[in-house]
A and B are shown apart, each in its own frame.
Chain A
């Protein structure tokens, strides 16, 4: 059975473990083997924690043998994006400036993963400090897209998405500040969910932009995402912005959606998130998916969100402003990299400058400089202040649109996976990749990307947005679409991905 274990969805694997046909140790070992075989090419993992994962798995197996009641995902291994702090495991956020840092504490979501008995396979690659849409900004090399090793796996969470797409892990944690869960999901043919802001604790997420960051599930099925979301979500007293009330029933909504009945549901197509800039194949799959939703009983209406046009611009002021402040703590004084200037006096100020100059990559420096400028006296009102006004307008657009529709939909990303280097020297083109995902972050509403087909052999994603705290709606719609599409495909989209060459991991 070992060879098939990695092909199971998380819920299938959980059932197999619960039913005693597979042990958690076997499941964990199968994924570790898979990582060993394919990650030499993919580079989805920055750190593989085999020993710890197998120890957790053995513990879960013995607890189960002792008759202990365990959670729904107990024993199912998981990968964690390297921006999430893990006690005792290296955490770099994809940056040289944190090379070798071992956090002394766990993020709240990691505590919950550990408490639920999920073995942590390792930490996944990402754009440095989650800044990017391709993982090309990682200080530790690109992650490859399992569909085409010449292409990007999306970003910033390309490592988590590639790991799940390549069956190295059935589950992964991502973080999404402007699309870093959903866009990688779209270009790798996986499911990615950005929960409602405050739905999952941010305690222990290395912050890029505090008012936009949100952690969420990266999986191969909508139901798996719901199960993981329920596991990591819910109120956390360590995060002031965490929502106090309990999560809606997400797995239940996914199961209900999978029955294929969407009658009475109003689906709003956001006019501003289509047309120019969207690849033909992407637009075609989107239109087909709308037909599918109609066939399930949904009513499709067009809605307008006029201020979404300015969302990208506002985002690129708010995000760098917050990032410039959040990243100030990386200064070589207390943890991580410390560079003393080669000549001249060794003062704190000069050590800070040398450390930051050496430790940060270009994209991080670009955003820190941009954000510092936007917050400067005399510019604050024109930049940060205006951006916050746009943010309010985007929120109003959402409110108006949700008065007309239960969920909003769009293509997740305007294009399929592009080739490495294609947009590296053109930051603006790179930023445009997130044009459809950013509004949800600005408004704090939840968003999901579900695979909805291929364009020229590469996956395309379908984005579903719901009102804040109504995450269950998108699980219902996502599961319905997934079930209907898989029926036409004759199985999961990922079954159409090319087989990866297996080579021994040598690095």
Chain B
């Protein structure tokens, strides 16, 4: 079996015109349990190497695993959220292979008896379209340790002088979620892949089963892609790109593989079934190891563990305690807030949903909250190149700002200055108003002095207004506003000016 060794790519649009892409995605999520999957070692991100271990997670002779009940509960939560069946009884198996980051030289995983199976999840694309992804299974397993290769140029094992292994991660509970072949996405396949992984991430967070931080590797995706000339033909040979660690990379990986495989097929070649690596910097995948029949993990049921048999009562209890799922919540909030579809989509894509919800809870109208977060704040976040949620202002402060406007204490323009103060760490809005002296001036005495000065400076305009043309009065008002540094109540200024001119 030889493939045309090519790095040529077919333009994406051409590729999806000639081939039907089929995806398969495996997502691993690290569960946020206090202890590991099979022992009492505490789990904490960033600990000193090899400090979060027990004889069990080090694979010492004689040590035995015990299943973490919380991890089972979390796995069931995930299964239920993905509309899966929950097994009445399921077993762990041993996946045997020699590698230094696997302390026992086998990984304890589920093989032919996953805890959850046959589910589905609807994912929403950016334009609001919904795509259903069928779930094959969700199973429990343990993570491996982490290798660090020292002395090489690339941090990879080749050329390294020695390697260090940190077993803190070994034994952290994982749930692996495997899709059925995702067919029918067509040209939108990359988008579907990204939206699917993002949907899972949101669900993990809503369920409280994981912090689900991509950048920490809490959620990792293996992306399988294959092409076939037409949807009615059998599936083509797939490649599996391992450990894709961001939503954007998931999308780019699929896109790249479609273009790459199309080029191979166009050239009359054969796609090799293999593991591939994604390179964030160059935006391409490269060949890893070839998956062949030689890879035999000699799975067999783990004899050190008894089957996990969640009672139906327990499963129903868990089902009843599931929180509202992100999609349902979005639908509910959109209705409550009265946003148009496009408005809601923008809010979701901007990651502003929690912020707006909290702002509304603080008493601001949904429209007012959206105006701030999607307007002024979104603009500033973009300028500063930071996420909206990490701006140095809280929903409660925005709600307070809106209250100050509603009470007439400040106007919109002043409000932006107050926001400057809040973002600069000068305190809550009311405090900034006080310390910066930003209250609206509506005291007639103070205004009249400024008005008289402005009238005296522009007698020609006064004449025009007296002649019945109110148009130019704005110039007078502008001068007064300028003189009062914008703190004057513009409406009152107008009233007083007209009164003064005798209109």
Contact = CB atoms under 8 A, between A and B. Distances in A.
A325 to B, nearest CB: 5
A319 B477 CA distance: 96
A210 B61 CA distance: 12
The A interface, classified by DSSP as helix, strand, loop or mixed, is loop
A380 B300 contact: yes
Interface string B140-175: 000000000000000000000001010000000000
B303 interface: yes
A85 B61 CA distance: 8
Interface string A315-330: 0000001101100111
Contacts of A495: none
Contacts of B305: 240-241
Contact of B63 (A203, A209, A375): A203
B300 A384 contact: yes
B66 A238 contact: yes
A372 interface: yes
Nearest to B302: A210
Contacts of B100: 331, 333, 348
Among A91, A107, A204, max chain B CB count under 10 A is at A204
Given A104-B55, A240-B306, A329-B105, A375 B96 contact: yes
Given A325-B298, A328-B105, A348-B100, A239 B61 contact: no
Given A331-B98, A334-B58, A238 B298 contact: no
B32 interface: no
Contacts of A238: 64, 66
Interface in B48-70: 55, 58-67
Interface in A260-281: none
A483 interface: no
A345 B268 CA distance: 40
Contacts of B293: 377
Contact of B62 (A206, A241, A321, A376): A206
Contacts of A325: 94, 96, 106, 298, 300
Contact of A322 (B64, B67, B99, B303): B303
B91 to A, nearest CB: 12
Given A85-B62, A210-B304, A376-B298, A328 B55 contact: no
A195 to B, nearest CB: 17
Interface in A100-117: 101, 103-105, 107
Question: How many B residues are at the interface, by size bracket?
Answer: 20 to 34
Nearest to A91: B61
Contacts of B58: 334
Nearest to A353: B98
B61 A103 contact: yes
A107 B64 CA distance: 10
Interface in B281-311: 293, 296, 298-300, 303-306
A264 to B, nearest CB: 36
B98 A352 contact: yes
Contacts of A334: 58-60, 103
Interface in B65-85: 65-67
Contacts of A384: 300
Contacts of A227: none
The B interface, classified by DSSP as helix, strand, loop or mixed, is loop
B61 A329 contact: yes
A14 B55 CA distance: 34
B60 to A, nearest CB: 7
B104 interface: yes
B298 A205 contact: no
A329 B306 contact: no
Given A328-B96, A377-B296, A240 B64 contact: yes
A328 B60 contact: no
Interface in A325-379: 325, 328-331, 333-335, 348-349, 352, 372, 375-377
A413 interface: no
B59 to A, nearest CB: 5
Contacts of A104: 55, 60
Given A104-B55, A237-B66, A329-B59, A210 B303 contact: yes
A85 B243 CA distance: 38
A303 to B, nearest CB: 29
A103 B67 CA distance: 23
Contacts of B60: 85, 103-105, 334-335
Interface residues of A, number: 44
Contact of B298 (A105, A240, A375): A375
Nearest to A97: B61
Contacts of A335: 60-61
A145 B64 CA distance: 34
Contacts of B306: 240-241
A365 B68 CA distance: 34
Nearest to A239: B64
B98 A240 contact: no
Contacts of A105: 55, 60, 62-63
A409 interface: no
A93 B61 contact: yes
Contacts of A240: 64-67, 304-306
Interface in A281-333: 321-322, 324-325, 328-331, 333
Nearest to A202: B64
Nearest to B105: A328
Nearest to A336: B61
A207 interface: yes
A228 interface: no
B109 to A, nearest CB: 13
B419 to A, nearest CB: 57
A211 interface: yes
A313 to B, nearest CB: 18
Interface in A63-104: 84-85, 91, 93, 98, 101, 103-104
Contacts of A331: 98, 100, 105
A328 B304 CA distance: 15
Interface in A180-232: 202-207, 209-211
B166 to A, nearest CB: 12
Nearest to B96: A325
A408 B98 CA distance: 43
Contacts of A376: 296, 298
Given A241-B306, A349-B98, A207 B62 contact: yes
A328 B67 contact: no
Contacts of B61: 85, 91, 93, 98, 101, 103, 206-207, 329-330, 335
Nearest to A349: B98
Contacts of B62: 84-85, 103, 105, 107, 203-207
A93 B62 CA distance: 11
A83 B105 CA distance: 20
A354 to B, nearest CB: 13
A324 B65 CA distance: 18
B93 to A, nearest CB: 10
A498 to B, nearest CB: 37
Contacts of B67: 240
Contacts of A324: 96, 298
A247 to B, nearest CB: 19
A471 B296 CA distance: 41
Contacts of A91: 61
23 contacts: A85-B61, A104-B60, A105-B55, A204-B63, A205-B62, A239-B66, A240-B64, A240-B65, A241-B303, A321-B300, A325-B106, A325-B298, A329-B59, A329-B105, A331-B100, A333-B100, A334-B58, A335-B61, A348-B99, A348-B163, A349-B98, A375-B300, A377-B298
Please list the 10 inter-chain residue pairs (A to B) with the smallest Cβ-Cβ separation, ordered nearest first: A328-B105, A210-B303, A375-B298, A211-B303, A204-B62, A85-B62, A206-B61, A377-B296, A329-B59, A210-B304
Given A209-B303, A238-B64, A331-B105, 13 more contacts: A103-B60, A103-B61, A104-B60, A105-B60, A105-B62, A107-B62, A204-B62, A206-B62, A237-B66, A324-B96, A325-B300, A375-B96, A377-B293
Interface of B: 55, 58-67, 94, 96, 98-100, 103-106, 163, 165, 293, 296, 298-300, 303-306
